[in-house]
Amino acid sequence: MENEGNGNCSIFGMGIEGSEMNCFFNTNSMDQKDLFESALSSIVSSPSNSHHAVQFPCVGVGGGGESIVLRELIGRLGSICNSSEINGNNSSNNSCYNTPLNSPPKVVNMSITGHHQFPVDPSRFSTFGGKNELSHVIESGKLSRVSSNQSFKKMNKLSMELDESSVSETETGTGNGIGVKGQSNNANGRKRKVVAKGKGKETNAKDDKVVTEVEKEESDAKRSKSNEEKKSNEKSTEPPKDYIHVRARRGQATDSHSLAERVRREKISERMKFLQDLVPGCNKVTGKAVMLDEIINYVQSLQRQVEFLSMKLATVNPRMDASMEALLSKDMFQPQVSMPNIANPFDTSAQSFPYGFQSQLNGMVPDRPENQFSMNPLMAAMHRNSVIKPPHIDGFIEASTLWENDLQSVVKMALGQDQSQGFLGQMKVEL
Amino acid sequence: MSPQPSSTNPNSLKIQLAYQFLHNLNNLNSKRSNLATTHIRQRSNRVKIAAYASMAYVVGSRRAWSRAILRTIRNRRMLARNKRVDHKITHRPRSAKRRNPKRDYVDPNGNSGQEVKLRKLVPGVEKMDACGLLDETADYIKYLKTQVEVMKNLVDLYSTI
């Protein structure tokens, strides 16, 4: 797997070559051999050029699918180790090891560039925990690879962020000084030990725990590198927050603040849905912003309509006084459905208050012009009416059907006469 | 205000609104100066005020926007009574139809330009949270729709006569 330019691979940051991986594998975690073995086998089966060492993809350690990368790495390592080119690998390994040390900044770009800088410093290996012997590394490489693979996998999954790398680090054992650890450490802010790991194998900067373990054996030299790698890993791990973020989300969900936020958001979305039904033409629109735009437009258009209609009404009906009164009285009667004088189509409930109401209205209106709005005699009358005869409310509904006709008749009558007092008398005439 | 706030039934709501509207119109016009002499704009303004007032009366004090409208009307009346015509209130009793060109403007509170616009359109929601704002907007839209229908019918009636 070439380093797909996956920032994630930053863990290895330095293009951890497969050989480098070997170093990592040289860890204490032999217990995970099984897992790693399986992984390793899979990796081995994967296309493995012995040259991977140089090209180990940044082992996606830093990013999603890094586990795969890791596996590949491991596989390659395995293949490399298995091959008799140990020596060559060693050198490459060495180089790998060196690379991270030499080029810490590469972490970001996992492209396995490390290889070109392998000063092959066997001594370096030793720093890993005293197990510098390549052979040793190689031997355990397989196992360790598996373990590291697993750890890497874990790391990838757990923490694209540096934090996770700790696992890998632990896996890799102290000796691996895998940059991963360093990275994770750094990620966690524990820059101390990562050094050894700094090889550029910044497996997802895992937790400190791993780091701590590694730390013990890591040399400070690596630290810096690992730190840097870590940082790069961090960067690389950040983007691919695929599965790692579950944590964050979960954390958010449990937070009381976020819960309240969520509730609030749900309420708002519920209201938005209701508004969608109200505002015509909003069914296809999705998204709060667009919906809000539509709502604003609709409200504006409605208000403009009111204004326009009021102007029209003002022009169409210059004589609003009498007509309005007439209309009012007429309308008043409507709910009661009792307009004996008027050919009221609704004679539902013969509630004839027309005269009384009208006089009331007329009397009230002129008497207290200022209190019109507050008094609302019409409403009072209606209320009274309704109180007296609740069934009248049904009249409303019935009236609604004949609303237009009735209104028309009312208006006609109203327009026909000029005085409100004589309204009733003339209503008959009009109709 | 209405004897039975059957606002769920659009027809009854319409009727209530119509009554209220006519009543208010009548009162408004009768109170004022001679119709014949008043300018068309004044008249239309009065009609508009009557329309909003009728809306608010039907709803009563249940809603923030209706309360705001009623408040404005009363203020207006008081001012008019005191011979101090506050043109600001008179001419903009309710929603100020300001066309805000900047849509993406974000308030210091983090409100987007749209929310601010909405607050300006709907009366009485200045200090409400987003949730209540949407609620009031929905209610406001409902009554506005009905009011527009009532007025349309009235205009038709008047024009056909």
Q: What confidence tens digit (pLDDT) does each residue in A259-277 have?
A: 889 998 899 888 888 888 8
> How far off is chain A from B82, nearest CA to CA, in Å?
12
Condensed to tens digits (0 to 9), the pLDDT of residues A297-349 reads 999 999 998 888 888 888 876 665 555 555 555 555 544 433 344 333 433 34
Asked if A328 reaches chain B (Cβ–Cβ under 8 Å), the answer is yes
Question: CA-nearest residue of chain A to B27?
Answer: A372
* Residue B22 covered by a domain: yes
Contact A320 B158 (CB under 8 A): no
Contact A334 B154 (CB under 8 A): no
The answer to whether A368 and A360 have CB atoms below 8 angstroms apart is no
Question: CA-nearest residue of chain A to B151?
Answer: A309
For residue A154, give the nearest of A58, A235, A70 by alpha carbon.
Answer: A70
* Residue B81 covered by a domain: yes
pLDDT band at A391 (very low <50, low <70, confident <90, very high): very low
* Residue B2 covered by a domain: no
> How far off is chain B from A245, nearest CA to CA, in Å?
26
Asked if the ipTM is above 0.90, the reply is: no
Distance CA(A116)–CA(A104), nearest Å, equals 13
Distance CA(A367)–CA(A364), nearest Å, equals 5
Q: Output the CA–CA distances (angstroms, integers) from residue A122 to A89, A94, A184, B121, in the order listed.
A: 12, 6, 24, 76
Distance CA(A177)–CA(B13), nearest Å, equals 78
> Which pLDDT score is estimated for A300?
92
Residue A178, SS3 per DSSP: strand
> Which pLDDT score is estimated for A301?
92
> Which pLDDT score is estimated for B43?
79
* Residue B94 covered by a domain: no
Asked if A411 reaches chain B (Cβ–Cβ under 8 Å), the answer is yes
* Residue B117 covered by a domain: yes
Domains contained in chain B, number: 1
The answer to whether B16 and A393 have CB atoms below 8 angstroms apart is no
Q: Chain B interface, mutation test: which of A272, A273, A295, A368, most B Cβ atoms within 10 Å?
A: A295
Condensed to tens digits (0 to 9), the pLDDT of residues B81-130 reads 886 555 555 554 555 555 555 555 555 566 667 788 888 888 888 888 88
Contact B118 A313 (CB under 8 A): no
pLDDT band at A29 (very low <50, low <70, confident <90, very high): very low
**Could you say which of A271, A386, A407 has the minimum Cβ distance to residue B135?**
A271
For A:360-399, CB contacts with B below 8 A are 365-366, 369-370, 372-374, 376-379, 382-383, 385-387, 390, 393, 396-397, 399
> How far off is chain B from A141, nearest CA to CA, in Å?
56
Q: Which residues of A touch B117 (CB under 8 A)?
A: 296
Contact A303 B130 (CB under 8 A): no
The answer to whether A326 and A420 have CB atoms below 8 angstroms apart is yes
Average pLDDT over residues A374-380: 42
Q: Which is more confidently placed, A158 or B9? A: B9
Q: Residue-wise over A209-237: b if at least 16 C-beta within 10 A, else e?
A: bbbbbbbebbbeebbbbbbbbbbbbbbbb
Q: Which is more confidently placed, A269 or A81? A: A269
Average pLDDT over residues A66-80: 57
* Residue B18 covered by a domain: yes
Q: Which residues of B touch A264 (CB under 8 A)?
A: 130-131
Whether residue A63 has pLDDT greater than 60:
no
Condensed to tens digits (0 to 9), the pLDDT of residues A82-118 reads 554 444 444 444 444 444 444 444 444 444 444 444 4
Average pLDDT over residues A149-169: 44
CB contacts < 8 A, A to B, total 225
Q: Which residues of B touch A295 (CB under 8 A)?
A: 118, 137, 141
Whether residue A393 has pLDDT greater than 50:
no
Asked if A46 reaches chain B (Cβ–Cβ under 8 Å), the answer is no
pLDDT band at A428 (very low <50, low <70, confident <90, very high): very low
Average pLDDT over residues A199-206: 43
> Which pLDDT score is estimated for B35?
57
Q: Which is more confidently placed, A222 or A362? A: A222
pLDDT band at B80 (very low <50, low <70, confident <90, very high): confident
Average pLDDT over residues A285-291: 79
Indicate the pTM of the whole model: 0.41
* Residue B101 covered by a domain: no
Q: Output the CA–CA distances (angstroms, integers) from residue A324 to A104, A140, A318, A332, A360, in the order listed.
A: 88, 100, 11, 12, 15
pLDDT band at A281 (very low <50, low <70, confident <90, very high): confident
* Residue B61 covered by a domain: yes
> Which pLDDT score is estimated for A365?
39
Contact B26 A321 (CB under 8 A): yes
In terms of residue numbers, what domain contains B155?
A: 10-87+107-160
